[in-house]
Amino acid sequence: MQYYSTNQQAPKADLKEAVVRGLAPDKGLHMPEQLPVFSSAFFEQLHNLSLQEIGAEVAKCFFGDSVDNKALKQIAEETLNFEIPLVKLSEQIFSLELFHGPTCAFKDVGGRFMARMLAYFTQNEQQDIYVLTATSGDTGSAVASGFFNVPGIKVIILYPKGKVSHIQEQQLTTHGHNITALEVDGTFDDCQKLVKEAFNTEGLRKKLKLTSANSINLARFLPQAIYYYHAVAQLGKTDKKIVFSVPSGNFGNLTAGIFAWNSGLPVHKFIAATNVNDIVPQYLETGIFSPKHSIKTLANAMDVGNPSNFVRMLEIFEHQHDKMAEMVKGFSLDDEGIQKYMQLIYEKHQYIADPHGAIGYAALDQQLQENEVGIFLETAHPAKFIDITEKVLQREVPIPERLGAYLKKKKEAVPLKADFNAFQDYLYSIS
């Protein structure tokens, strides 16, 4: 399989080059020449497969011609060594709980998979690889955990000062060893811009071997498709049409779901569920994509004003607005609505949803039709946003032991202005 750049101005790359490089030389994102498609036999047996078995089959379908099958199976098994249960809230609405991994967020799947794939591709390299990652909260913690103490790899995480939750910040800043956190005086979009500029600076690329663990990297976002298949497997046979509601910020998660649908997974439609940073829902309504500065909300992991993966969505739908709008519906919710739905979900179902999951549920509550069944992605444990959750619900939220351990550690972060020259100077200083 070869991978082309969405900007169409760079040579095609093989999987190793696409994963190790992260961003294409022309600043575009890598896309496979052919979108993977499963045989009907796979879907006939899907309901009988475990999460790890599904993971191995999906990895083989997406990456099997570039990675040894035995190695791929091991990567999938090591990545997916925790549960991803589908929880029934009502006859029509289910929650796919993606927070049972080491950092209690959905990005554990992509972060852990990419760490292992990058280690596979670079096992004989002599030069250290620097993984640059911008985070609005959960990406950084998943990447830090997934890459912690991986030989030959150093991770630099950029996060917006004062715009992540306390627990998220502790997860980003307390690993040490090969993990460094940069506390940027700006927004997530500023962090993401710094990372992209670094990739496109020839001097840095000559001095340092750079890659990214953001969802701009194929090996980070594509494995997230695995849990869409697993959700359908757990749902079992149904006469109703399946709708996935996906809380979205940088849109890697939704893009992975669209890949799964394109491969043959029986999905009727997706809902791109956002907070007031509603750039994609606005596009779906008007056909105009208009990035803007992100706005801080209670659902901070989705505070993104210029989502990178939107260009991949355009590629899949052949840059045709009508095609995308037919399959993907938009939805947005402000902070008042988020709090309202957090309360409603608890009162109606005795279920504690985090602010992002509450948006996903709200989209189903408002848009689901009688002949449809909805699955919303519960992307993070509510304890990661404990201040908000306890204030809204007026009750104590238990903190999982693996999260509580981070609160006992000392924060170590390097302050940084949202200025590329400052970031470039820092990178040169550590090389």
Q: Would the pLDDT of 287 be above 80? A: yes
Q: Kind and range of the H or E element at 96?
A: strand 93-97
Residue carrying structure tokens 């979009």: 189
Q: What is the pLDDT of residues 106-142, one digit of tens each?
A: 989 998 998 888 888 888 777 888 999 888 777 788 8
Output the pLDDT for position 142: 83
Q: What is the pTM of this model?
A: 0.89
Those residues with Cβ within 8 angstroms of residue 4's Cβ, 6 or more apart along the chain or in another chain: 10, 12, 30, 31, 33
pLDDT (average), residues 20-40: 90
Report the pLDDT averaged over residues 270-295.
Answer: 96
| Phi (first) and psi of residue 339, to 5 degrees | -65, -40
Q: What is the pLDDT of residue 192?
A: 86
Q: How confident is the model at residue 297 (pLDDT cuts 50, 70, 90)?
A: very high
Q: Is 8 inside a domain boundary?
A: no
Radius of gyration of the chain from its Cα atoms, rounded to whole angstroms: 20
Q: Average of pLDDT values for 157-182? A: 91
- pLDDT for the residue 8: 93
Could you list the residue range(s) of the whole structural domain that residue 247 is in?
Answer: 15-22+37-431
Task: Report the catalytic residues.
Answer: 107
pLDDT tens for 384-399 read 999 999 999 999 999 9
pLDDT in tens, 82-109: 999 999 999 999 999 999 999 899 989 9
- Mean pLDDT (the chain) is 93
Domain presence at residue 27? no
Task: Identify the pLDDT of residue 138.
Answer: 73
CATH (domain of 298): 3.40.50.1100
Residue 335 has pLDDT above 90, yes or no: yes
For the stretch 351-380, pLDDT in tens is 999 999 999 999 999 999 999 999 999 999
pLDDT of residue 372: 98
Examine the pLDDT at 334 and tell me if it is beyond 90.
Answer: yes
What would the mean pLDDT of 12-37 be, rounded to a whole number?
A: 90
6 is a domain residue: no
Tell whether 303 is covered by a domain.
Answer: yes
* Secondary structure (DSSP) of 264-311: T----EEEEEESS--HHHHHHHHS----------SSGGG--SS-TTHH
Number of domains in the chain: 1
Higher model confidence: residue 206 or residue 3? 3
Please indicate, yes or no, if residue 416 is contained in any of the structural domains: yes
CB atoms within 10 A of CB 91: 8
User: Would 3 be classed as within a structural domain?
Assistant: no
30 found inside a domain: no
Residue 249 lies in a domain: yes
